[in-house]
Amino acid sequence: MKFVRSILSVAVAAAFSVTCLAQQPATGYHTVACLKVKADKGSEFRKWAAEDLHKYAQSRLDAGFVTTWYLLRSVMPQGESAECDYLVVAMYPAAPPKPLGVEDLDAALKKAGIAMTGQQYVDRRNSLAHLSRRIFFRTALSRAGRKRAITSWSIT
């Protein structure tokens, strides 16, 4: 039930932002991944997300594999009662490409300027958090826009 609320919150936010702008025919897809940070790894995860994950996501955006990418941090609930500590939302211009194998991830990380192998990246990610759920959607509403840089926002 908590996860459904998280997904609905993302959907409502996306719907309101889209309706404020010119609507285009439905195109593309998006994924929503629910991440649960491991106990006592919150600070390390935030550092990793601000550095390596951000660089990787920006390189995927620059290469045109994704059109928009969000990392959303759960505000309520938090801690053990939260099913997701973070939601990763990626929007694609068409059907998403197949997941990268370790060799392809090596090349993508190098292109992003991250000095580690694909296996090291996966091991580091898995040491900080685990994927609780992943959902795949077809975009029902979209808007025209230009390619933008990923920015980080913090609300306290």
Going from N- to C-terminal start, the domains of the chain cover 2-143
* Percent of all residues in the chain with a pLDDT value above 90, rounded to a whole number: 42
CA torsion, ordered 90, 93, 106, 50, to nearest 10 deg: -30
CA distances to 2, 7, 47 from 31, in Å: 18, 11, 23
- State phi, psi for 152 to the nearest 5 degrees: -105, 140
Sign of CA dihedral 128, 38, 31, 67: negative
Does domain 2-143 correspond to CATH entry 3.30.70.100?
yes
Q: What's residue 27's pLDDT?
A: 67
Tell me the mean pLDDT in the region 47-73.
Answer: 93
Q: What's residue 30's pLDDT?
A: 87
Q: What's residue 142's pLDDT?
A: 52
Q: What's residue 94's pLDDT?
A: 85
pLDDT at 7 exceeding the cut of 80: no
Q: What's residue 95's pLDDT?
A: 83
Read off the pLDDT of residues 92-141 as tens digits, 9 standing for 90 and up.
Answer: 988 888 888 888 999 999 999 999 999 999 999 999 999 988 888 887 76
Banded model confidence at residue 145, pLDDT cuts 50, 70, 90: low
